[in-house]
Amino acid sequence: MKVDRASMLLYAVTDRTWLKGRSFIDVIEEALKAGVTFLQLREKNLDYSSFLTLAREIKKVVDKYKIPYVINDNVDIALACGADGVHVGQKDMDAKDVRKIIGPDKILGVSAQTVEQAVAAERNGADYIGVGSVFPTSTKPDAETVSFETLREICKSVSIPVVAIGGINKDNAMKLAGSGIDGIAVVSAIFAQDDIAASVRELRQVASRVVNQKS
């Protein structure tokens, strides 16, 4: 499964911090059922065995909804669980090396903060670019924010899909309209909400307006 632009529309990045006693798998399924179009499993502190077990459980759910599913940073887990691909940051393994390991058919997403990083990522085999942080975010408090102008330049400089990430919610997403992005990636705007399904539906509507307003 490779990436098409439509699958970028509402890109969810998991976070178990806000489960509030709910089942992680149930929360993910609720989000997918309500209209998430792409899922990234992000786990920083799990041991390999626990991570793999979780990744396989989530894959069963994702397969039901036929949306792309990638693992953050961990190429070994991505391959072992049968995910559609992997997403790496600038401080992780080099995109060119990741592409060699995962082969031509898996999805490779790469984070970028500058035009140069984005262009290099595409040249090295990325299928899409994640740009951020576009707003201040509690998920990565030390992340530098990327300006609207830089976001727009990145979109103009690459031919692959671009998704914006970092502090995006239903109230500020429209500020990204006209940038040329193909979708928004969110964490707490879904997983920290009491009503997951309602939040997803609202975000998907906002994302559609953002993406369709190209200039």
pLDDT digits (tens, 9 = 90+) for 132-180: 999 988 777 777 899 999 999 999 999 999 999 999 999 999 999 999 9
| Selection from 116, 115, 71, 67 nearest residue 93 by Cα | 71
Please report the pLDDT score of residue 215 as a whole number.
56
Q: One of 140, 152, 170, 201 is an active-site residue; which one?
A: 140
Is 204 tagged catalytic? no
Model's pTM, two decimal places? 0.97
DSSP state of 3: -
Is 42 tagged catalytic? yes
Contact 178, 153 (CB under 8 A): no
Please report the pLDDT score of residue 1 as a whole number.
54
Please give the full DSSP string across 119-149, using - where no structure is assigned. Answer: HHHHHTT-SEEEE--SS--SSSTTPPPPPHH
Return the percent helix, strand and coil in the chain, to nearest 5: 45, 15, 40
Give the pLDDT confidence of 30-65 residue by residue, as tens digits. 999 999 999 999 999 999 999 999 999 999 999 999
Contacts 24+ apart (CB under 8 A), 142-146: 144/113, 146/113
Q: One of 7, 99, 106, 111 is an active-site residue; which one?
A: 111
| Selection from 154, 100, 106, 157 nearest residue 124 by Cα | 100
Give the pLDDT confidence of 79-88 residue by residue, as tens digits. 999 999 999 9
Could you tell me the sign of the dihedral formed by the alpha carbons of 181, 187, 189, 191, in that order? positive
Domains and CATH numbers, the chain: 5-212 (3.20.20.70)
Is 99 tagged catalytic? no
